[in-house]
């Protein structure tokens, strides 16, 4: 089955630093990837849609200058949390699919970000 790899699985950083999270589709090409954020005991909230070769589409309320998304190839999308603050501490999850049109999405294993 399709595999989405996400790295790192856990990161702890100091306030004010930037953190990059990678999302790779290992055995398929993904023109579109999605980034979600999940706070403890809450549901997944879509942050942005990452499009290969073009700008990402951000959901309302998500700061594009703070959460930089780069989708430079058909198998890699990165999310950079710039100038991280403690309120950015969360579980970040990416997803992708080898298909279009309503087919199932495959999710990465998530990245737990803790900002001190």
For residue 108, state whether it binds other proteins (rule: CB under 8 A): yes
Report 61-90 residues binding other proteins (CB under 8 A).
none
Distance CA 68, CA 16 (A): 15
Q: Are 30 and 75 in contact (CB under 8 A)?
A: yes
Out of 13, 44, 62, 74, the residue judged to bind other proteins by CB under 8 A: 44
**Residue 19 tokens, joined:** 């953190």
Of 14-22, 43-51, 63-71, 79-87: span binding other proteins (CB under 8 A):
43-51
Instruction: Report how far Cα 52 is from the mean position of its chain's Cα atoms.
Output: 14
Distance CA 92, CA 24 (A): 14
Q: Are 45 and 36 in contact (CB under 8 A)?
A: yes
CB of 84 to other proteins, least distance (A): 20
According to DSSP, the residues that pair with 4 across neighbouring strands are: 25
> Residue count at the site for other proteins (CB under 8 A)?
28
For residue 102, state whether it binds other proteins (rule: CB under 8 A): yes
Residue closer to other proteins by CB (options 12, 16) is 12
Binding stretches for other proteins (CB under 8 A): 4, 6, 31-32, 34, 36, 42-46, 49, 91, 93, 95, 97, 100-110, 112
């Amino acid at each position: 089955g399709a595999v989405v790899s996400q790295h790192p699985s856990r990161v702890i950083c100091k306030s004010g630093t930037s953190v990059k999270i990678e999302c790779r589709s290992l055995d398929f090409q993904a023109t579109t990837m999605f980034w979600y954020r999940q706070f403890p005991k809450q549901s997944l909230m879509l942050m942005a849609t990452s499009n290969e070769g073009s700008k990402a589409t951000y959901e309302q309320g998500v700061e594009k200058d703070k959460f930089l998304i780069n989708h430079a190839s058909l198998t890699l999308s990165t999310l950079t949390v710039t100038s991280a603050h403690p309120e950015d501490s969360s579980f970040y999850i990416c997803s992708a699919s080898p298909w279009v049109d309503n087919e199932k999405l495959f999710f990465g294993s998530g990245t737990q970000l803790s900002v001190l």
